[in-house]
Amino acid sequence: MTFIGSLSGASSAGGAPAGGTSSLTYTPGSGLSGLASGINTDAMVTAMVQAAQVPLVQLLQQRQILQWQEMRYQQVNVSLSTLQQSVSNLQLQSTFLAHTASSSNPSVVTATASTLAPAGTFNVTIQQLAQGATVVSSTPLSGDPSQQTVGQFNGGQGITLTLNGQSLTFQATDSLQTVLSNITSQTALGISAFYDSNTGQVVFQTTSTGSGAVMLANNQTASFLASAFHLTYPPSLTSTVNLSSGLTSSVTLEINGQKIQLNGSATNPMTLSQIEAAINNPQVQAKTGVTASDDGQGHLILNPSYTDSSGNTYQLLSPISVSESDSSNALGFQGVYSGTAAQQVAQDAVYIVNGYTTTSPSNQASFNGLTLNLLSAAPGSAATITVGVDVDTIVNSLTNFVQQYNQTLQLMQGLYNEQRNYDYLPLTSQQAAQMTQTQIDEWNQKAQSGMLAYDPLLGNTMNTLENDMQLTLQNQTSSTVNGQTVTLNSLAAIGITPIDPLNGVASGAIAPGVTTTGWNTYGLLQINTDQLRAAVQADPQAVMRLFTNNPSLPGNQNNMSTGIAVQLYNDLENQIQQFTQQAGSNPNINSEIITKLANGASAGMAGLLPYTPIDPNADFNSLFSLDPADVSFLGQQISGIDTQAEDMQQQISDLQQRYQNEFTQMEQALAQLSTQSSFLMGISSSSGSSAGG
């Protein structure tokens, strides 16, 4: 007779345990559920566990709702922070002092104006442009420098070259082209060196302009460059004035960019030897590379070399650049040398602005808040630079602010006025598995709606911002705009006003950042650009005070009240702090928000928040990965739910194990009873057969 144990591989004959019974071990989920009882115990355990998980699912849904609320707060917080950055610029006076500069002759000079440049016109004449020094081989090289080596010109040895205080070491096998390339690449030298294959010559040029641009080498380097590249030393310069009687005036002598003050007078002339001593001061020589001497006939000579206190001799490769401050040419050095075809003298730019002559080491000169780009010194060339208020830049700054303000306020209004759909709870994984992605998105849109509906923090913030936009600057001075005397003491006075929710944006105005109409525009701002431009053009200082005035700083004029930008910035700081205390901060929240649904439709202005279907069987260790540093109010609430959910999940796991153990014991008991019953029936059958025989 077949018994229950045979289904698991047991037999009725042999191998039976003592007492004549066979034991069956039941494992939940093994496919043997209900073999003894006829009951699907696995299904029963699953159903009972699911019933026990209902409170856990509800708790996880509550947790998801808190997370959504937290993320909406963080989204608003980021928008407030972006608005605060925009407002920060409006606290700066420089924002309202932007200037433009136009040139009547851009081929001669162009200009840009800083906030310090005064408005007006500047007549500019360029006498000479700045230039650097250039030295060229006196004769073509005998061969291509890439085919010649250092050793060929230095007795078969390598060499260390010292130029402008920087040292470069070369091996005997290095090519002359390597020497040129390394000199150029060593930017600290300030020298560009290259071989012109068209002429067979080598060109050395300073990378900077101005009279201080020099090429100074030690004696060994100068000798090597002369031998390898045919570079010749520049000439000495001799004064055209006889100074035997001394210098009887005060003159500033400039040699290679170094100014040397020579103080002579009619009553106390400065002797030629005193002039030489001033030029030959070791600290001066280290910068000029020049030694002064006389020719014995009262003329001063400037020689392109000097020897330091250690006996090291240095040689100028670039021509001597020399000038003097006096127009009378008292020393006789004006125009003594202007270079040759093989040598260009470094010089400063010389230009005249409204009759004032000045210099610049480069052709981008700074003058009274202006940056002048000097382009041409052709005779008779001149230009007029006109400096005025940069209305466009100021208007753009204010327009950008209004746009960010509107976007921030509209985001808050949308979240504040959203309807909460309490019938749409966060989806469970079982529900989501039976829906399409579009259905899931639509469900979550409804479930997320109204997370901050009528939220008091949100409402207080909106009221604060709207009140700041209505501020009036007390004691503002009067201005004349389009011939009318007005007081630019409010946003409305400069053309920035609230949008009428009934009539919408006024004719001729713009509403930056506004995407909807009707009551959703309540409190948002529009700009009458003509009125704003006229106010900025007429009195940029008054517009500046309207935004930047800070009574706590020195220089507050006429006891004026707090400017709009200063007040708004401080209020935003306070509101941002409250939002952070409520929900923490997440600067990257906008990158986590879904803007498009699966069907391509827009997810709305606030976007769709990320979500994970509720699964009570999930691994909570990975799911609950909150920032431990989040000490915000909502963060702590979520953390408390996490702990509670983990405890509930463990309790349900223990309950599931208890159910499984109990059903296992029941199945085993029923299996044993069935086995015993079969055994007894077998004995009874055997006894009956024996009696009949």
Q: Is the pLDDT of residue 38 over 80?
A: no
Q: Report pTM.
A: 0.73
Q: What are phi and psi of 642, to 5 degrees?
A: -60, -50
User: CA distances (Å), 283 to each of 220, 294, 312, in order?
Assistant: 22, 21, 14
Task: Say what angle helices 41-90 and 456-468 make with each other, to 10 degrees.
Answer: 10
C-beta of residue 656 within 8 angstroms of C-beta of residue 44: no
Residue-averaged pLDDT of the chain = 88
Q: Is the pLDDT of residue 124 over 90?
A: yes
CATH architecture of 134-229: 2-Layer Sandwich (3.30)
Q: Which residues pair with 254 in a beta bridge?
A: 259, 323
Q: What angle do CA 103, 380, 375 make, to 5 degrees?
A: 45
Q: What are phi and psi of 392, to 5 degrees?
A: -60, -45
Task: Say what angle helices 564-583 and 633-692 make with each other, to 10 degrees.
Answer: 20
pLDDT for res 112: 96
Residue tagged 């006889």 (tokens) = 242
Residues of the chain with CATH 3.30.70: 134-229, 237-339
pLDDT for res 602: 85
pLDDT for res 406: 95
C-beta of residue 264 within 8 angstroms of C-beta of residue 324: no
Radius of gyration of the chain (CA): 46
Rounded Cα distance between 465 and 155, Å, is 82
Tokens of 87: 């407002």
pLDDT for res 626: 60
User: CA distances (Å), 422 to each of 62, 332, 414, 425, 610, in order?
Assistant: 12, 97, 18, 7, 19
Could you tell me which of 183, 137, 133 has the C-alpha nearest to residue 289?
A: 133
pLDDT for res 557: 59
pLDDT for res 691: 53
CATH architecture of 237-339: 2-Layer Sandwich (3.30)
According to DSSP, residue 98 is labeled: -
pLDDT for res 327: 79
pLDDT for res 10: 35
Residues near 388 by Cβ (< 8 Å), separated by ≥ 6? 99, 100, 119
Q: Is the pLDDT of residue 338 over 80?
A: no
Region 578-596: mean pLDDT is 92
Could you tell me which of 408, 448, 457, 414 has the C-alpha nearest to residue 579?
A: 457
Q: Is the pLDDT of residue 193 over 70?
A: yes
Region 467-478: mean pLDDT is 94
Note the pLDDT tens digit of each residue in 353-366: 999 999 999 999 99
C-beta of residue 263 within 8 angstroms of C-beta of residue 249: no
Rounded Cα distance between 322 and 262, Å, is 14
